[in-house]
């Protein structure tokens, strides 16, 4: 299968919302803390688009023909003063999802390659991505791509 990757267009909205919703449902099966309604997926996409517009980056879609089957949100993190100057500007992959019908076909890797290309184009030398604890499939895929653990976040729910 040949997959094309291009920037998000407003006409992609419904398909990308379906992808984000699919991701939320998948992750909720692991973490039990994700919103499961479509409105939450719409809000997530809107937040991604605002962040790309504010901080820089790109929202990209992977296409099988005309159908979006994957999406990636890449944002530029403001320079971090605690990092060495050559690493202070960070590129973040904030969302990455491939339609469950298309997983295992290299689309996620192609989207990560696109994120790397975009990051290099912005002069970024560090790319980061997160995976929820328990999503070993994503973590292993990211490690195969060359990511390594860097930060552990801990959570405590307050009653």
Question: Residue 12 sits in a domain of what CATH number?
Answer: 3.40.630.30
pLDDT at position 39 is: 98
Residues 64-78 have a mean pLDDT of 95
Residues 66-83 have a mean pLDDT of 93
Q: Residue 1 above 70 pLDDT?
A: no
pLDDT in tens, 116-148: 999 999 999 899 999 999 999 999 999 999 999
Contacts of 127 by beta carbon, 8 Å cutoff, 6+ apart: 90, 91, 92, 93, 115, 116, 119, 147
Residues 26-32 have a mean pLDDT of 94
Would residue 154 count as lying in a domain?
no
Q: What is the domain range of residue 107?
A: 4-145
Residues 98-110 have a mean pLDDT of 95
Please report which confidence band the pLDDT of residue 53 belongs to, taking 50, 70 and 90 as the band edges: very high
Reference 71, options 1, 126, 125, 23; nearest CA is: 23
Q: Residue 151 above 80 pLDDT?
A: yes
65 in Cβ contact with 99 (< 8 Å): no
Please report which confidence band the pLDDT of residue 38 belongs to, taking 50, 70 and 90 as the band edges: very high
Residue 86 CB neighbour total at 10 angstroms: 8
Tally the domains of the chain.
Answer: 1
Would residue 48 count as lying in a domain?
yes
pLDDT at position 80 is: 84
Would residue 159 count as lying in a domain?
no
Would residue 43 count as lying in a domain?
yes
Nearest-angstrom CA–CA distance, 159 and 153? 20
Would residue 155 count as lying in a domain?
no
72 in Cβ contact with 145 (< 8 Å): no
Q: Residue 111 above 90 pLDDT?
A: yes
pTM over 0.85: yes
Nearest-angstrom CA–CA distance, 121 and 115? 10
Average pLDDT, the chain: 94
Sheet of 57-64: strand order equals 4-7, 57-64, 67-77, 90-98, 126-129
Would residue 108 count as lying in a domain?
yes
Q: Residue 7 above 90 pLDDT?
A: yes
Would residue 93 count as lying in a domain?
yes
pLDDT at position 88 is: 84
């Amino acid at each position: 299968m040949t997959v094309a990757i291009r920037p998000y267009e407003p006409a992609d909205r419904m398909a990308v919302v379906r992808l984000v919703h699919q991701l939320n449902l998948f992750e909720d099966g692991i973490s039990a803390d994700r919103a499961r309604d479509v409105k939450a997926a719409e809000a997530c996409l809107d937040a991604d688009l605002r962040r790309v517009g504010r901080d820089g980056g790109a929202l990209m879609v992977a296409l099988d023909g005309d159908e979006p089957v994957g999406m990636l949100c890449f944002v530029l993190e403001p320079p971090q003063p605690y990092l060495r100057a050559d690493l202070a500007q960070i590129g973040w992959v904030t969302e990455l999802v491939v339609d469950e019908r298309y997983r295992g076909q290299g689309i996620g890797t192609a989207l990560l390659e696109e994120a790397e290309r975009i990051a290099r184009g912005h002069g970024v030398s560090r790319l980061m991505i997160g995976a929820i604890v328990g999503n070993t499939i994503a973590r292993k895929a990211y490690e195969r791509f060359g990511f390594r653990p860097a930060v552990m976040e801990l959570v405590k729910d307050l009653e």
